[in-house]
Each structure stands twice: as C-alpha cells, then as structure tokens.
Amino acid sequence: MNNQLTWLDKAIFYEIYPQSFYDTNADGIGDINGITQKLDYIRELGCTAIWLNPCFRSPFGDAGYDVEDYYTVAPRYGTNEDLVTLFREAHKRDMHVLLDLVPGHTAVTHRWFKESMKAEKNVYTDRYIWTDSVWEEPRGMGCIRGISERDGSCAVNFFSHQPSLNYGFYRPDPDCKWQQPMDAEGPLATREALKDIMRFWLKAGCDGFRVDMAGSLVKNDEESKGTIALWQDIRRFLDGEFPGAALVSEWGEPDKSLVGGFHMDFLLHFGPSHYNDLLRCDEPYFSRRGRGSAREFVAAYRENYEKVGGRGLICIPSGNHDMDRLARRLDPAEMKLVFAFLLSMPGAPFIYYGDEIGMRYVENLVSVEGGYGRTGSRSPMQWNKGLNAGFSSAPEEKLYIPLDDSEDRPNAESQCADICSLRSEVKRLIAFRQKHPALQSRGSITFLQDGYPLVYERACASQRIRVVINPSGEEAAVSDTGGTILYKVGNAAEIKGDSLYVAGGTAVFVEA
C-alpha cells in the first residue's frame, strides 16, 4: 500500500457507541445530534478523529452490527442529514469521522436476504452463502435453515440472525457444488455492492471506515490470500475515486491487513496479541501488585512490528464495546500509567468513550441488544452529577442501558475541573504526544526491558525518547538512562549519573 495519509501521523481516535453517548430528544437512546453537540468536548480532550459504531437501520439484534439498510441512518439516531451535519461540524474542527462498516453479514430483515430466500433465481440468489439442500450444513460455520421456500441452509457469521454475505471461496470444495469461487458472478456482485456502500458515504463526507471482521470475508482461505486480494481490489477502487479514505481493520494480523491495503490494524482482545495480559486478566501487568507480565505481549508486538517492516500502523485501543472497562481491574492511578503507555506507543491510539474518566463496568446487567457479558461496558456516558448523569432527560426506566448507580461514579464535568483527575492526565498526555514527533504514530520503537519496569525507546529523525513505566509498588533503577526528564506521571523519578530511579506507580519520559 503506498497511499499514506498524513493526518494519521498525529491522529488520536475517540470511539463512540452512539446509543450510549448523549441523548438530545429524551427517548433514552443517544443520537447523532448528541455526538455533534459534544464534538467540542472530544476536541478539547485532544482527540482528532472519531470511530462511530454502526448507526445504520437495523433490528438491533446485535446492537447495529446486524444491518438492515446500509444507506439509511437508524431512525432512533436521527437522519442521514444529521450524519452529514456531524461530518461537516467535525471537519470545521479539523477532525475526521470513520463509520463502522459491517461487510461480512447483514440482518435477516435486509432486503437482499429476503430476496435470496425465494425459490426462483434472482439477482440476490447468490448474495449470501447457501448450500444446495436444507439438510446440508456449511462445514465449519453455523447456519439458519427451514425459514423459507428455498431449499438450502444459509451460513451465518456469528449470531443466527446474521447471514453471511458471499464473497466466494478461495479453495472451493469440489464436493460442495454450492461453494462458489471468488470470481463467480454472485461473489463479484457482493463486492461491487460493498464498493457502492463505501462510495455513498464517502461522497456524503465521511473520512473512511473501521471494518468489522475484515479478515473473514473469503471462506476456505486459511492463509488469507483471497481476502487480502479482495481488499487490495477495494484499495485500488478507493485510491482511484477517494484517495483520502482511511481504512482501519478489525483483523488482528497486521502483516495481512496492511498488505491488503488497510492503513491501520487493531491488536484484538482475543487471539495471540497478549494485549489483555496488560489490562484485563487476573493479574494485569498494570496492577501495582506487580505480579503481571508484559513479556508475551512484547514478544508478540515485536513479531508483528518486524513482519510489517514499518508499513502501516498497529493500533492499541484503551478498550471497546466488546471488552471489559479498564476500571473493572484497575484504579485511576493505575489507569494513568495505562494511558502513559497507550499514548506513547506507535500507531494511532483509540480511546473508548468514558475510559478517559475511568467509567466502570456495570455488573450484573441483563443483556441488551445482543450485548450479553459486554453490556456492562456499554452503559451511558456520565457527563455530570445531574439527572441520569447528564446523558438523557428521559425517565430512568427508559434509558437504553442502566447507568452505573454508584454514588461516586466518575463524571466528565467534575474531572474537567480537577487538574489531578484521570481525564486531565489523559489530556496532558495527548498534548505531550502531539508535541514530540518521536512519540507519534510513525516513530520507531525498540523494547529494552519487558519486566518491571517496561522500557522502550521511541525515535524519529530528530528525536529519541526513552519511556520507562513502572506500575509495580516497588522502586526500580534503569541503567544507561541519562538525559532530560521531559514528563512524569505518578510519583517520583530522578536521574543520578547515567541511571534513572523510578518510584513505584510512575511513568517517565526521558529525552536522550
């Protein structure tokens, strides 16, 4: 991929779960106009871009990841014009907006799927993956069947109401005549439909897409060669018509996604990244107990970093709508060190709404719209100490998800006024990153220690900064770390000779 977008060099993303962010019409559900009204809050924090979770028309069996109409904003969020206004107002503030694109499946209520269920052949017959007989299951995939006059079972990607769109099979099984190659008419039509959707929203003013399950589109594709080729074709289309469009993949294998044409790839909360060894396990590395380990994370990161050879960006989020909140296992002082880490790593950082104030995971909630155990991380944003924490003026029982009912729940207004708060520290760390090129997206990284403390060096042509993070409760000394302390988070740090002495619970940035 040769189309590097310069605005990504300093990008700091803020992920918004629209139904839980800010409600402007008192129906208990956040909306697009609420996001527009809060743009100044996001920009004041220092974030330069937004990732907006799915906002399209949907039956909401999976919180909008089951799309019924890719071209229409869900009425509960507002209108297409409201979304265009959000794009326009964000651009006025020199911010960018990425929409969440779900290319792998739709809702069962989508018009395409309804047409594909018909017995007579039509243009949508091969839009989804159907077997030839209702008695045959697609191997390795779940399915829905017995739902229509069409004889066959339809593959699903996850929930049973999410039929899998057909992009073809990289290696069709000759014993399964229904498995179509990637260049068959049906798979190619699906790919062109995806381009049309992207074309529509890019013309409307969005700046690109975060792509859900980007590595799963082509089936029987163990080495992802077919899926990479598909995305390379999408990239050529974008470079020809929308060269400024950014693509972020939910893939977790940057050596594949970045070759496929994505600008950025997430380290996922599942799989081999060991990212959550740091934040979400019984003994997180960032706990002051000092019983965790960053070793496997560092090894996995090094491996991915070397594989991509500096091409594209590997991104680490504070969390997202599928993960436990940071605050479920870490306290505000520990989270300050987490953000010192996140905001000093290469790639564009992503902050999940509310993580900047340490919003908690709300325990024991009944599942809402397919959230299940994830529901506790999707509770309404806590803006102030007022009615419904400032999220909505609706009666409490109408709220999309119940609020954290703790008397001491954090809120944005109080933390904005407190220079010692988590949010104030996050704001300072963002500003510090933006001031120093070595810490930004494309600065190189060299890990020097992977125990307590964690030590790595960020560098660019004009600057070298050593980052020393000691989450444990014990003081640590780091040799060969002389220079100037540029910034400190937490407790004490002192350079004596060529060694740095770092108190427990402290992060230090030293310029050589």
Element (H, E) at 485: strand 484-490
**pLDDT over 50 at 2, yes or no:** no
234-280 pLDDT, tens digit each: 999 999 999 999 999 999 999 999 999 999 998 777 678 899 999 99
Q: Which residue reads 């109409």 in tokens? A: 69
| Mean pLDDT for the chain overall | 96
The predicted structure's pLDDT at residue 368: 98
135-159 pLDDT, tens digit each: 999 988 999 999 999 999 999 999 9
Can you tell me the mean pLDDT for 351-378? 98
The predicted structure's pLDDT at residue 6: 94
Tell me the CA distances in angstroms from 316 to 256, 306, 448, one per residue in order. 17, 17, 19
pTM: 0.97
The predicted structure's pLDDT at residue 1: 43
The predicted structure's pLDDT at residue 267: 78
The predicted structure's pLDDT at residue 444: 95
Distance between start and end Cα atoms, the chain? 33
337-350 pLDDT, tens digit each: 999 999 999 999 99
380-435 pLDDT, tens digit each: 999 999 999 999 999 999 999 999 999 999 999 999 999 999 999 999 999 999 99
Structure tokens that stand for 7 in this block: 């605005």
Domains of the chain (ranges; CATH) run 6-104+187-365+408-434 (3.20.20.80), 105-166 (3.90.400.10), 442-511 (2.60.40.1180)
Residue 494 φ then ψ, to 5°: -150, 140
The predicted structure's pLDDT at residue 3: 60
* pLDDT confidence bin for 42, thresholds 50/70/90: very high
* pLDDT confidence bin for 311, thresholds 50/70/90: confident
The predicted structure's pLDDT at residue 268: 76
Can you tell me the mean pLDDT for 339-364? 97
Query: How many other CB atoms are there within 10 angstroms of residue 81's CB atom?
Result: 11
Can you tell me the mean pLDDT for 76-88? 98
**DSSP class of residue 457?**
E
Q: Which amino acid is at 107?
A: A
